[in-house]
Amino acid sequence: MKKFVLFLGLMIASLALSIRANDGTYYTSGNQLVPLQETDISVRKEVLTISILNNGFARVDVYYEFWNPGKQSRQLLMGFEADPPYNDDWKFHPDGVHPNIADFTVEMNGLRLPYQNAVCHYADTTLDSVPRKDYMIFDDNRIYEKDPEAYPEYWETGIAFAYVYYFTATFQPGLNKVHHTYCYRMSHGIGDPWDICYKLTPASRWANRQIDDFTLIVRADNTSKHFVIEQKAFPQAVFAVMEGVGKIRNLPEEKWQTPYLEFTLRNGAVQTHITNFKPQDELRIASGFRESKPFGHFYDPYYGKMPFFMANWAAEQNHQDLQFVKRVSRNLPYAYRGHVFKDKVLREFFESQWWYMPDPNYNDDNSDFTEVDHLYIKAEID
């Protein structure tokens, strides 16, 4: 087998993230900072802030407070694990630098920490009980081109891996503060113009097996976002709009197979706060949920091929008037920014959309319109 960097000795759990089995692209997921060896240090506090940007990236900002119960300083090897891309012109990076992560930083007690990159070995070689060639390194160091079910003996030569950013942290006795930031490309699929995943369960690797005080903040600064969060990661949590303009509602489990919270947010933030948080599942944030009636659900000022879904909606609703479809398309960028429509047909249509939040002060300024916004305005739906 060709040589590659293999970071040995890491106590790394099996993959917890389920990758969607569709024609989408999974770039990576966010992860907790975790100890790479046993430790008696606990997580007193975590404030996780995820900003949904208009450039196809999510920005992750995490503030931690750790508690060292000992009377002496202690050095601990810590790491950040990132899954390799799936269905994205796969290429193995032996230097351990993830192709879709940028601006990685760690500060501890006010000092910037240097870090190194490596490739680590995962114990589990499957996702969704289906082998994923993108997560494997083979003896020819290339992606496996044959059907693994037809060639099981060759599949067994692969090693499941992840990219790791690791560093040495010095924990003083008592309270220690860590500030961690990075950006990563959001995934996407047939039904999701964008998708953000963040692993919560690795927090159980710290001594207290929980996060004593946990806060999640999701931001949409200088933009409008319509998204859902799977409730299974926060079954008892209460979310609230803390800044800007927004609304929140439940999507019933019997309709969606799993309970979701739905959010519409403009230039603001939502948050939830949990004490003694023992995460049992991972965080997933996805663009506005699939539904046949809410025409416009899939619109996003950066991502999404909305005209495709609009045509589907028109067919489902027996709308043969594509001019109406085009009118709605041209007005979507304005509707998401709160334009108040004088035209009765458009006003009634957008007021029927849950995500629509009219703003009488919006003056139709288009200076922040993206390339995708202009595509909608052109209504190129053919």
Whether 144 shows a pLDDT value over 50: the answer reads no
Neighbour tally for 17: CB within 10 Å: 17
**Which one-letter DSSP state was computed for residue 327?**
H
- For residues 182-190, give the mean pLDDT: 81
Question: What is the spatial distance between Cα 229 and Cα 371, in angstroms, rounded to a whole number?
Answer: 27
Q: What is the pTM of this model?
A: 0.81
Whether 342 shows a pLDDT value over 90: the answer reads yes
pLDDT band, residue 301 (cuts 50/70/90): low
pLDDT band, residue 272 (cuts 50/70/90): very high
- By the 8 A CB rule, do 194 and 188 touch? yes
Phi, psi of 24 (to 5 degrees): -115, -175
- By the 8 A CB rule, do 283 and 200 touch? yes
Bridge-based pairing of strands 211-230 and 34-35 is unpaired
pLDDT band, residue 273 (cuts 50/70/90): very high
pLDDT band, residue 142 (cuts 50/70/90): very low
Percent of the chain with pLDDT over 70: 68
Residue 130 in tokens: 């289906």
pLDDT at residue 253, rounded to an integer: 57
The DSSP secondary structure of 165-220, one letter per residue, reads EEEEEEE-SEEEEEEEEEEEEPBB-SS-S-EEEEE-GGGGGSTTSSEEEEEEEEEE
- For residues 134-147, give the mean pLDDT: 47
Lowest mean pLDDT among 104-113, 134-143, 244-253, 365-374: 134-143
Cα dihedral across residues 245, 250, 256, 259: positive or negative: positive
Decide which of 84 and 305 is more confident.
Answer: 84
Lowest mean pLDDT among 17-21, 140-144, 243-247: 17-21
Residue 362 in tokens: 């919006």
Could you read off the pLDDT of 45-67 as tens digits, one per residue?
Answer: 999 999 998 888 899 999 999 99
Question: What is the spatial distance between Cα 73 and Cα 378, in angstroms, rounded to a whole number?
Answer: 62
For residue 296, give the amino acid letter: G
Cα dihedral across residues 364, 368, 373, 377: positive or negative: positive
Classify 364 in phi/psi space as left (phi over 0), alpha (psi -120 to 50) or beta: left
Could you read off the pLDDT of 326-339 as tens digits, one per residue?
Answer: 788 788 889 989 99
Q: In sequence order, what are the beta bridge partners of 19?
A: none
- By the 8 A CB rule, do 329 and 379 touch? yes
Lowest mean pLDDT among 1-10, 253-262, 320-329: 1-10
Question: What is the spatial distance between Cα 105 and Cα 369, in angstroms, rounded to a whole number?
Answer: 30
Residue 90 in tokens: 């796969």
Whether 314 shows a pLDDT value over 60: the answer reads no
Average per-residue pLDDT in the chain?
76
